[in-house]
Amino acid sequence: MHDRAAALRFVSSPRALPGKSASNSGMRILSLSAAVAAFGGILFLAGCSACSTQPQSPQQVRQATANATSEIKNDAKAVAEGVRDGLQRPSADQPLDLNTATEGQLKSLPGINDETAARIVANRPYRSTHDLVDRRLITTGEYDQIAPRITVK
């Protein structure tokens, strides 16, 4: 299990997902896929060469492989969901439009809670992102945190 934890740390490390631009998204997913495949290989080999000195029957090997595969499938699904969620979050590359965003989308921004998101929606339309500060819906500090992640179309 130590190898599994190390592989998960590698997959979630910044080195495994270089860059933040949309042009690197495909490369990040490819790197992530390679890391998941490597993790699966390590887990498979660890399952096949258990610390037992007794030879395993084909049935035992098949069962161990099925268990490892099931575990990898669950982990890969969680990684894929995390990647999808990360790619859908507002960023400088894909800013959130204040005039069309839902309260749920607005709450994904740092420092924006339920109440603030509801006030932003209630005070539409906006001509500029800075309207949030001008209308005293958020502070300048809060605006500075989210400014690169929002837009008005």
What pLDDT score does 70 carry? 87
**CB 116, CB 138: distance < 8 Å:** yes
pLDDT grade for 143, boundaries at 50, 70 and 90:
very high
- Tell me, what amino acid is at 110? P
Q: Tens digit of pLDDT for each residue in 12-39?
A: 444 444 444 444 455 556 566 666 666 6
Token pair, residue 140, equals 């300048």
Q: How many H helices and E strands in the chain?
A: 7, 2
Terminal CA-to-CA distance of the chain, rounded, Å? 49
Class of domain 96-151: mainly alpha
Structure tokens at 90: 């507002």
Which residues, in sequence order, are CB contacts of 152 under 8 Å at separation 6+? 97, 98, 99, 126, 127, 128, 129, 131
More confident residue, 35 or 137: 137
Domain boundaries, the chain: 2-88, 96-151
pLDDT of residue 1: 46
pLDDT digits (tens, 9 = 90+) for 44-96: 666 655 555 677 889 999 999 999 998 988 888 888 888 877 766 676 678 99
The reported pTM is 0.47
Tokens (6 digits) for 23: 């042009």
